[in-house]
Amino acid sequence: MTTFISTPRRRPVLHRCLLALALSTATVLPAMASPFTLQSNTVILEEREGRTSFNITNPGNQPILLLSKVENLDDQAMAGNVLVTPAVTRIDPGQSQIINFALKKGVTLDREYMLRASFEGVAQKAEQGMRMPIRQQIGFIIQPRSVAVELRPWHDLRFQADGRQLTVRNSGRHVIRMGPTLTLDSGAVGSLPHPYLMPGEEVAVSFDAPVSGAEVQIVPLSRYGFANPTQRVPLR
């Protein structure tokens, strides 16, 4: 489950960046400490390479059973084209495990895809019982061979105002990761349903007053989910 937080209109830069990072990684953590740590906030699989590896470490003093999988974030059913090995494995205390992700042969991409990588760990108690499983979920980007990496994909954002509603569309072939808060010239604030837009995706954002002004202020995120400086995108 991913939790989205509505932010106030003005907030210190550091706080805003940390919040955007938390939203972008789509990580779900229970109140207890996680029994395993991840290599990074995002997995990137390049079609050109066909596979990638990701390191997971057990820093605790008990072995854990780790279950790894990839899930869809939309209706494109791309997750079925990614093989995960080992899908289930044991990681002993102080040890690491490499999880391999491979794109099925014959799959050709014409746009970026973002999926969700899910890692669920269960630590063993001293009395041989099992603790409650803890799941961490992060972004999983598939980079096509035919589409070059774009460090400023938000340039492909298109906005269309209609009364109190703003239609937001990703007109490009890259995934656009961004904080969900949109701020108009008037100071009015609206929220996207999730901190990303898939290529071709279009969503409607509602405001309390008619949409007006020349620009929309956004907080774009890097491919790894870190906040970039605030950008002003033309309302067009």
- The per-residue pLDDT for range 111-127, each reduced to its tens digit, is 999 999 999 998 866 55
Q: Which residue has the higher pLDDT, 35 or 48?
A: 48
Alpha-carbon distances, residue 203 vs 13, 53, 156, 180 (angstroms): 26, 33, 14, 12
Residue 16 confidence (pLDDT) above 80: no
Cis peptide before 86 (omega within 30 of 0): yes
Alpha-carbon distances, residue 164 vs 6, 53, 114, 168, 196 (angstroms): 18, 46, 30, 13, 22
pLDDT band per the 50, 70, 90 thresholds, residue 216: very high
The neighbour count for residue 144, using CB atoms within 10 Å, is: 18
Residue 11 confidence (pLDDT) above 60: no
Q: Which CATH number fits domain 150-234: 2.30.30.140, 2.60.40.10, 1.10.1380.10, 2.60.40.420?
A: 2.60.40.10
Write down the CATH number for the domain with range 29-143.
2.60.40.10
- Domain segments of the chain as ranges: 29-143, 150-234
150-234 shares the fold of 29-143: yes
pTM: 0.82
Closest CA to 166 of 130, 215, 128: 215
Q: What's the confidence (pLDDT) of residue 17?
A: 39
Residue 26 confidence (pLDDT) above 70: no
Q: What's the confidence (pLDDT) of residue 21?
A: 38
